[in-house]
Homo-oligomer: A and B are copies of this chain.
Amino acid sequence: MSKKVVTFGELMLRLAPEGYYRFVQAETFGATYGGGEANVAVSLANYGLDAKFVTKLPKHEIGQAAVNSLRRYGVDTTYITRGGDRVGIYYLEKGASQRPSKVIYDRANSAMCLATKEDFNWDEIFEGAEWFHFTGITPALGDNVAEICLEACRAAKERNITISCDLNYRNKLWSKEKAGEVMGKLCEYVDVCIANEEDAADVFGIKAADTDVTTGTVNHEGYKDVAKQLVERFNFSKVAITLRGSISANDNKWAAMLYNKEDFFFSKNYLMHIVDRVGGGDSFGGGLIYACMNNFDPQQTIEFAVAASCLKHSVEGDFNQVSVDEVMKLSGGDGSGRVQR
């Protein structure tokens, strides 16, 4: 039997103009589905784990299509509560060169945003699970959802389930103050903390020196201190920080650091031509969880997570459609992109 992982969050309809068309030019939208925790679940299902995604989605056909998008890739959707009126939406315009990608959210009042405690039976959901994952987006959906999140963390902790959280700060959803307060409570339960180069500063005011994300300058060394402070405050067993250097909308540098309270492990650096940037962080989380659950050593862990997310940047859609073999091949050193016949 495969190991069980549970992730909890919102699954949104993603509406994106084809190719590099701008919103105002679009006559069709590609209709896929995505969301931080669902993206992680798909990654893990693709790696062969028994990944369960928990959320609330309407009973109508758009809700059903959202559910189907996960079933298609092997995610267990048994614990998705059906009800409510709308599927949250995000519009995505893909950037190019100096023109950034643009996201317009239309997620207020979605079924998940209006979910209640009664919608989820955590005892049933966590039956046999080894790992629980959520991101900072979930509690940001509303006080009710933050409360459910807390309940889930408590239930997971009681069962000795490892909890990971990707800080994932979204300024359209809540203020830094509010985020700091709510996430502060939740992080008490968290074992593995994931963050990008800005999250710790946004949520907890913990900053890396000498870094300006808008110029592509990321001071890798400065993040050692960020990780240390995070561990000091929350006693995380592991902190993983992704380090993106944005050269242009098409070209990014990509690496990450893992801190296991003993040492710092830096991954290889990748220079990526980007096919689809969204879900890049989530694919890192997915890789990290897989590596941890399979007891990779720290260096292997961070290499696996970074290689997984490096590959994600070459895949269309929120979901990372790669196998363990493919990640292993890249983390093992072959990034030449030669045709596989």
Structural contact, B72 and A339, CB atoms closer than 8 A: no
Residues 287 to 341 of chain A near chain B (Cβ within 8 Å): 307, 310-311, 313-317, 321-322, 326, 330, 333-341
Q: Report whether A337 and B27 are in contact in the complex, using a CB–CB cutoff of 8 Å.
A: no
A22 to B313, CA, bound (A): 13
Asked if A174 is an interface residue, CB under 8 A from chain B, the answer is no
A interface secondary structure, majority: loop
- A129-143: CB near B (< 8 Å → 1, else 0) gives 000000000000000
Per the bound structure, the CA–CA distance linking A101 and B338 in Å amounts to 7
Whether A272 sits at the interface, judged by CB under 8 Å, is yes
Contact residue among B20, B23, B314, B335 (Cβ-Cβ distance under 8 Å from A20)? B314
Which residue on chain B has the smallest CB distance to residue A68? B72
B314 & A99 in contact (Cβ 8 Å cutoff): yes
Q: Are B341 and A105 in contact (CB under 8 A)?
A: yes
Residue positions of A touching B, CB distance < 8 A: 15, 18-32, 60-62, 64-65, 68-69, 71-74, 85-87, 89, 91, 93, 95-106, 108-109, 170-172, 213-216, 246-251, 270, 272-275, 277-278, 307, 310-311, 313-317, 321-322, 326, 330, 333-341
